[in-house]
Amino acid sequence: MGSGGGALGLSSPLFANGHLSSSSNSTSLPLPVEDGNHLAMVKPSSSIVNLPHYKWRLLIAYDGTRYAGSHYWRVKGKWPYVIGLASPSISGWQFQVSPPTIQCIVEKALIQITKLERECLHFVGASRTDTGVHAWGQVAHFITPFNYDSLETIHAALNGLLPSDIRVREISAATPEFHARFSAKSKVYHYKIYNDTIMDPFQRHYVYHSVYKLNTAAMREAAKMLIGKHDFSAFVNASRNDRVPDPVKTIFRFDVIEMGPLIQLEVEGSGFLYRQVRNMVALLIQIGKEAIPTEIVPKILATLDRRELAKYALSAPPHGLCLVSVKYNQEHLLLPSDCPTTSFGRHHTITKCKLPFY
């Protein structure tokens, strides 16, 4: 790894003075882009140039109260590997400034730090979260045409630019095969319910308040009926894009945990449809209220019709939901050879006490 020449003390073998090297002999390659749940090869425009690239993985936490939802796409190669630099029209990413998305804000910070155009970053998130939904373990990746000697500097710079309700918890190098979304093995969501007569005001932005006394035993029984491989068409809201997602998903576990007045619903699945988690939670809350019996769950599943669920429950509010983690196979988390060490942030130290003793 070299030094100097790039942003924030990084090596930049491909760029001179911020411009593409005129000595590049690369040729254009087709680009894989997302089409529904599949990848389609598209012919790149004349503006695409093949260059070695480095991929980086981010672990992000955020308070979603102020933000709207978002989207993704895919690339492949070797470390450093070759992909096409495409125009924004080729990317499947949605760059939404108003109302702001988490992805938009993080991407703008990356643009400022790396000095790259957004279409060159190919910034991708593992999971779309709806407006108002929080995350502790969102995963994303981006690409640069240069390597870093150390990731601590860019890590500190990112968190210095981001608002206090968004934090990058970790930055690491990623292998060419890693993709934040398509490499995901499972995702874990938690939904929190405060089940007491008076709401704890300190939790009001992150926990749904139910004044009805909930029967958690009935909720557990109903949650077990959602475990396994099912067609969840009855639990998906109409999406705002043209994609037709596969409605068959696998729920690995669905736990109902009591912690005093707090009820935490923990669900892990292979993937989730638009608002699926909030719709499942809404049905469990109605069952917990004893407004409907547990036997309604398989009946609603069998209809494959969202209108059937709407007869009994509306979507649970978003602020109680949090994306806790995205899980990957171990081989997807391996670090490339000759890459900088993972950054978990750094502590500040004081070498000399500047305060007088009394």
In one-letter notation, the amino acid at residue 232 is F
pTM of the model: 0.79
What is the DSSP secondary-structure string of 206-239? TSEE--SPP-HHHHHHHHHTT-EEEE-GGG-PPP
165, exposed or middle or buried, with CB in 10 Å at 0-12, 13-18, 19+? middle
Residue 246 appears among annotated catalytic residues: no
Q: Cα dihedral angle (231, 234, 237, 238), rounded to 10 degrees? A: 80
pLDDT of residue 358: 56
What is the DSSP secondary-structure string of 142-168? EEESSB-S-SHHHHHHHHHHS-TTEEE
pLDDT of residue 335: 93
Per-residue pLDDT of the chain in tens (358 residues, 90 and over written 9): 443 333 443 333 333 333 333 333 333 333 334 433 333 333 333 344 456 689 999 999 999 998 876 543 333 333 343 333 333 322 223 455 567 889 899 999 999 999 999 999 999 999 888 889 999 999 999 999 999 999 999 999 999 999 999 999 999 999 999 999 999 999 999 999 999 999 999 999 999 999 999 999 999 999 999 999 999 999 998 765 545 578 999 999 999 999 999 999 999 999 999 999 999 999 999 999 999 999 999 999 999 999 999 999 999 999 999 999 999 999 999 999 889 999 999 888 877 766 666 5
Among 35, 63, 130, 242, the active-site one is 130
On whether the CB atoms of residues 85 and 119 are closer than 8 A, the answer is yes
pLDDT of residue 98: 62
pLDDT of residue 350: 77
Domains along the sequence of the chain with CATH: 54-69+90-182 (3.30.70.580), 185-325 (3.30.70.660)
153, exposed or middle or buried, with CB in 10 Å at 0-12, 13-18, 19+? middle
pLDDT of residue 2: 40
pLDDT of residue 14: 30
* Residues, the chain: 358
Distances (CA, A) of 142 to 56, 72, 126, 187: 5, 11, 12, 20
Neighbours of 319 (CB within 10 A): 20
Q: How far apart are CA 218 and CA 213, in angstroms?
A: 12
Pairing of strands 262-269, 228-231: unpaired
pLDDT of residue 353: 65
Structure tokens at 262: 């707090």
Strand partners, 321: 191
pLDDT of residue 225: 98
pLDDT of residue 70: 52
Per-residue b or e along 228-238, where b marks 16 or more CB atoms closer than 10 Å to that residue's CB: eebebbbbbbe
Distances (CA, A) of 136 to 60, 78, 205, 208, 305: 7, 30, 15, 18, 32
- Phi/psi class of residue 260: alpha, beta or left (left: φ > 0; alpha: ψ in -120 to 50)? left
Structure tokens at 315: 């979507």
pLDDT of residue 243: 56
Name the residue among 96, 141, 97, 144 with its Cα closest to residue 120.
Answer: 144
